[in-house]
Amino acid sequence: MGLFDYFHANRRSAEVAKERLSILIARDQIQRNQPSFLPQLQDELLEVIKKYVDIDQDDISITLDREDDCEILELNIALPEKPRQRQPS
Amino acid sequence: MTRIIVITSGKGGVGKTTTSAAFAMGLALEGYKTAVIDFDVGLRNLDLVMGCERRVVYDFVNVINKEARLNQALIRDKRTENLYILPASQTKDKEALTMEGVEAVLGELADTFDYIVCDSPAGIEHGAFMAMYFADEAIVVTNPEISSVRDSDRILGLLASKTKRAAENRSPIKEHLLLTRYSPDRVMKGEMLSVKDIQEILSIPLLGVIPESEAVLTASNQGVPVIANRNSDAGLAYQDCVARFLGEEIEMRFIDPKKKGLLSKFFGSN
């Protein structure tokens, strides 16, 4: 789609707004219903992993998803490209 | 039985204070003894919109700190019988609103008033939390704009979980949606979220729609709640809202584009 099409697309902005909002609010509501221990779990995991690998707060993400009757706790840790292993002191 | 109503929104600038002033005056005009309280400590503005800024001597925080009696701080509206304003403090810290202090003031007001209207500050911090905590009903003021709708949803979440009624497992706060700054013309052109869109997303009962109107700015310039202007679309829309709030069934107005005459259609003027 060219630039011309982009500006002249027949989608009306209110439709776009409604679609974006519906998705956003559904996601907000899932987050709101997450158990409150997740941030603390994330901090504690970070502390443990930091003992061995040099990572930041941003390198860990924890999400909780619901699928039908089962809950999935997803933990993502992005390790640095060249692991700077800490020398045990 | 006194009812406590919070006027809230999350987002700033959507019309909470305009609505608080209009709604409180509307209830008083219907004969109910009404107090309207400014919870925006540090950024008081309700007194300006109500036109009583020069009569403020004591404020909400003075009463909480027992530096003044409630009767000394309440300002009686000069135009409307039954209407009283409790201004916010302009100087104190917002933490000055203690839970016990707010509860005591509301309790004392409940002895003599039918309605207490709490004008919440924007945001979701202490002042906003105090304004909603003791409420029986909430009017969620929303603009047809994505950020405002999202914040309203957030506020609805807090109303359901972080209030006294939620803490005590009583029946939940009764929620009302009030849509402000609505432009039927822009909705028809597909440039603005419609009443239906917003209601679908927030799924709470619609109390009313206030059209985008020049009368709102004129009213606040003059310090007269817009509901007093019976010749304005916004004033009439607020009157409808108050009547609906009190249980009347009134059809929504100002949600369809104005019909243009042949001449104005031809010349394309408004």
The interface predicted TM-score of the complex, written ipTM, equals 0.81
What contacts B28, CB < 8 A, 6 or more positions away? B34, B77, B80, B81, B82, B83
Taking CB atoms and an 8 Å limit, are B201 and A21 in contact across chains?
Answer: yes
* Higher per-residue pLDDT: B54 or B268: B54
Euclidean distance between CA atoms B119 and A85, whole angstroms: 56
Taking CB atoms and an 8 Å limit, are B201 and A24 in contact across chains?
Answer: no
B268 touches chain A (CB under 8 A): no
Neighbours of B225 (CB within 10 A): 31
A85 touches chain B (CB under 8 A): no
pLDDT band at B150 (very low <50, low <70, confident <90, very high): very high
Q: Stretch B56-67: mean pLDDT, rounded?
A: 95
pLDDT band at A54 (very low <50, low <70, confident <90, very high): confident
Euclidean distance between CA atoms B74 and B87, whole angstroms: 8
Taking CB atoms and an 8 Å limit, are A18 and B201 in contact across chains?
Answer: yes
Nearest 10 degrees: CA dihedral of B217, B219, B220, B222?
120
Contacts of B197 in chain A (CB under 8 A): 14, 17-18
pLDDT band at B124 (very low <50, low <70, confident <90, very high): very high
Rounded alpha-carbon distances, angstroms, from residue B259 to A75, B211, B240: 58, 15, 21
pLDDT digits (tens, 9 = 90+) for B152-187: 999 999 999 999 999 999 999 999 999 999 999 999
pLDDT band at A87 (very low <50, low <70, confident <90, very high): low
B196 touches chain A (CB under 8 A): no
Euclidean distance between CA atoms B192 and B99, whole angstroms: 40
pLDDT band at B263 (very low <50, low <70, confident <90, very high): low
Euclidean distance between CA atoms B236 and B251, whole angstroms: 12
What is the β-pairing status of strands B3-8 and A70-77? unpaired
pLDDT score recorded for residue A2: 55
